[in-house]
Copies of this chain bind each other. A is one copy, B any other.
Amino acid sequence: MTRLSAEALAGLAEVRPGDDLAGMIANAAAGAGTEIGAGDVVAVAQKVVSKAEGRLRDLREVRPSAEASDLGTRLGKDARLVQVILDESTAILRSEHGVLIVRTTHGLVCANAGVDQSNVPGEEMVALLPADPDDSARALRAALAERLGVRPAVVICDSFGRAWRLGQADVAIGCAGLAPLDDLRGGPDAEGRELTAAIDAVADQVASAAALVRSKAGREAVVIVRGLDRHVTLEDGPGAAAIIRPETEDLFT
């Protein structure tokens, strides 16, 4: 019998640029009596990773280009915010109905390049996605291993909208030590017939499970997910970059 659990880590302090996030997670776990095991997955909201890494911009220091100003006017968005989004993007895929869907420098397709202001202190500060979220996951995993004496997997999560479905679901924008995809093709179904087209988006679904227990009102940025030992690897592995569909196979932009 397979069993999964997800538990929000209580007591994480407000994260600021330069903070030792691994140390803060280890301290919060010790304080809450929460054990973090080798086969566990530590799911971390992108926002606190970005804050610790100082991936913040002050809108007061942004000079919007003509393109950003035009887009801002058309979409009803702050032109300086649009400029920051453009700086984080390689292509605009859609800009209508007040939404700005882009391909980010990482290759992610999402609204506003993941730039947002919620849970960011400071009137005019916005948080960007980490420059390389898989790198961030690997660094956090290594630092956690040093603190904890065990080497749990790390997933960095963000909430993405979906093309044909309302609402946001969390996906993995970075991961280390967790197989991002589980390729079941070629294995047998219950009838002994070959399973086709079955690749499980493990890391994204871990992010979604974690989102169900994390309060979006902040201060619950870390969730410990247990029971997925079979997907947790010693090696850091290919990271969440492996989940991004190659542009050549993209049918929808």
Contact = CB atoms under 8 A, between A and B. Distances in A.
Interface of A: 1-8, 10, 14, 32, 94, 96-97, 99, 101, 108-109, 111, 117-121, 159, 162-171, 180-182, 184, 187-191, 193, 195-202, 204-206, 208-209, 211-220, 227-228, 242-245, 249-253
Contacts of A165: 171, 201, 204, 243-245
Given A4-B209, A6-B209, A213-B4, A168 B228 contact: no
Contact of A163 (B111, B159, B184, B252): B252
Contacts of A109: 163-164
Number of copies: 2
A243 to B, nearest CB: 5
Given A3-B6, A181-B167, A184-B216, A205 B204 contact: no
A245 B99 CA distance: 14
Nearest to A195: B118
A6 B227 CA distance: 10
Contacts of A32: 1
B217 A118 contact: no
Contact of A245 (B101, B164, B190, B228): B164
Given A1-B7, A217-B187, A201 B167 contact: yes
B209 A245 contact: no
12 contacts: A2-B7, A2-B215, A96-B251, A119-B190, A119-B191, A159-B200, A163-B250, A167-B199, A184-B216, A208-B208, A209-B209, A213-B227
